[in-house]
Amino acid sequence: MIQENIMEIKERIKQAALRSGRLPEDILLLAVTKTIDTDRIQEAVEAGLTSLGENKVQEILDKYETMGENVKWHLIGHLQTNKVKYIIDKVELIHSVESLKLAEEIEKRAAAKNIIMPILVEVNIAQEDSKFGLHPSEVETFIRNISTMQHICVKGLMTVAPYVENPEENRYYFRQLRELLVDINEKKIDNVHMDILSMGMTGDYEVAIEEGATIVRVGTGIFGERFYPEKLNK
């Protein structure tokens, strides 16, 4: 099942890339493994997906040893400042940086480990009250502020688009995120050249790719519906 799902998603990624004149290999399919046990994650790894996304620090820590050296973890969810220390040397990319306080803590912990931490800035592109992320108008100043931190490298932008039935409704937002990235790159801020756009999930990754996504974060499409403990109790 998992293997077939992945094959189908890869084919759709390829088609969306070709439709928009892009190379399929320029798009990373990040397998979102929240609530998924390591046996099932292993199936995805065997099908070729070695980059895994989690939205909670604790889930990365729980699965880290079992999944071993051959996978790369991405933190995609809200990160509390007091938890940075647990994952700083365990993740490949932090997608969800959206406050100066958090950036300062990442800088401090990365410096202590003598590493440079690649990060994305999370943007609340549709300006929804329920979502994390910076208002689009705040992003440039924020990036200017963190660009001087020596142990952080700003690689791009990330957004969690609105939940919609019709993915076309998010096309405008994906395009806006890409335009924001292009605009900020044109400012030629020292140490900042962004080339990652993390946008698009199960419901809308093809539209996101057409609008320039370089990382799509797909959970349900690979593993099926997630079961949370609350749901099981009902």
Ligand X SMILES: *Cc1c(COP(=O)(O)O)cnc(C)c1O
Q: Is 133 in the site for ligand X (CB under 6 A)?
A: no
Q: Is residue 202 a contact residue for ligand X (CB under 6 A)?
A: yes
**Minimum Å distance from CB 77 to ligand X?**
5
**Look-up of token digits 């009902």:** 234
Among 220, 224, 227, 231, which residue sits at the site for ligand X (rule: CB under 6 A)?
220
CB of 173 to ligand X, least distance (A): 14
- The smaller minimum CB distance to ligand X, of residues 72 and 108, is found at 72
Amino acid at 40: R
- Distance (Å, rounded) from C-alpha 49 to C-alpha 51? 6
Tokens of 154: 């700003």
For residue 131, state whether it binds ligand X (rule: CB under 6 A).
Answer: no
Residues between 22 and 51 with contacts to ligand X, criterion CB under 6 A: 32, 34
For residue 172, the one-letter residue type is Y
Establish if 118 lies at the interface with ligand X (CB under 6 A): no
Beta-carbon contacts of 73 under 8 Å, excluding residues fewer than 6 positions away, are 52, 53, 54, 60, 64, 87, 90, 91, 92
Q: Return the structure tokens found at 5.
A: 């799902």
Contact residues: ligand X, CB under 6 A: 32, 34, 55, 76-77, 160, 201-203, 217-221
